A and B are shown apart, each in its own frame.
Chain A
Amino acid sequence: NAGVMQNPRHLVRRRGQEARLRCSPMKGHSHVYWYRQLPEEGLKFMVYLQKENIIDESGMPKERFSAEFPKEGPSILRIQQVVRGDSAAYFCASSPKGGSGNTIYFGEGSWLTVV
């Protein structure tokens, strides 16, 4: 896990507010992945990004969720108008390059609670 930095670690939002989760990949990594983990469930793929490009967003909900990985700065997962069902742990992971077989390393996660 060392090297993939996520913040905030814990975030509380009221229904209808926006949540922004940030992820800085490991040094030298240009590929970022976001996963969501609901209580006592597995890791669900959300989106895969490379610098300035979304490679695969097949796991992203159609509405309210967006992700970016700008040329400079961290990757951002944005959830608009949060609802209680968005409460989960959101994990970011990174790899040095894309493609099958490249090891990905996870951060410690951001726990979102919607009240």
Chain B
Amino acid sequence: GENVEQHPSTLSVQEGDSAVIKCTYSDSASNYFPWYKQELGKGPQLIIDIRSNVGEKKDQRIAVTLNKTAKHFSLHITETQPEDSAVYFCAASRQAGTALIFGKGTTLSVSS
């Protein structure tokens, strides 16, 4: 089955800096890659996703890149702000009819 690895597990940046989180997946049939943000005591919230027919997607300060050949995808947050502090999860979807498989998460801390 699918396996998703996520790095780093923790990331500390200064406000205004960029943050990059990387994930790799094992199943070459996976074709959907969302990213979720989880704040303490809350459920995961979708922040951006990418499908395998594109290599990059951007939404304001957040961007995601996908390299299908290497089977890895990354989340880029620019101009980080303290409110970006949270746990971020990447995920991959296998064949049709199956559920998302998540990475173990990255705790991002943005200090002002």
Contacts A43-B89, A100-B98 known; A106 to B104 CB distance under 8 Å? Answer: no
Q: How far is the CA of A100 from the CA of B1 in the complex (A)?
A: 14
Q: Are B51 and A56 in contact (CB under 8 A)?
A: no
B99 touches A56 (CB 8 A): yes
> Which residues does chain B contribute within 8 Å of A69, judged by CB atoms?
none
B53 nearest CB neighbor, chain A only? A101
Contacts of B101 on A, CB cut-off 8 Å? 45
Tell me which residues from 64 to 108 in chain A have a Cβ below 8 Å from any Cβ of chain B: 91, 98-108
Is residue B44 within 8 Å, beta carbon to beta carbon, of the partner chain?
A: yes
Looking at chain A's contact residues, the main secondary structure is loop
Interface size class of B (residues with CB under 8 A): 20 to 34
Residues of A in contact (CB 8 Å), total 27
| Set of chain A residues within 8 Å of B61, measured between Cβ atoms | none
Q: How far is the CA of A99 from the CA of B97 in the complex (A)?
A: 4
Q: A63: CB under 8 A from chain B?
A: no
State whether A91 and B99 are in contact (beta carbons under 8 Å apart), knowing that A100-B93, A100-B94, A101-B51 are contacts in the complex: no
6 CB contacts below 8 A, A to B, read A44-B102, A45-B99, A100-B31, A100-B96, A100-B97, A102-B32
Chain B positions within 8 Å of A, measured between CB atoms, are 1, 6, 30-32, 34, 36, 42-46, 49, 51, 89, 93-105
New A-B contacts (15) at CB < 8 Å, excluding given A104-B100, A106-B36, A108-B43: A1-B42, A1-B45, A33-B99, A42-B6, A43-B44, A44-B102, A45-B102, A55-B97, A56-B99, A98-B96, A100-B30, A100-B96, A101-B32, A104-B34, A109-B43
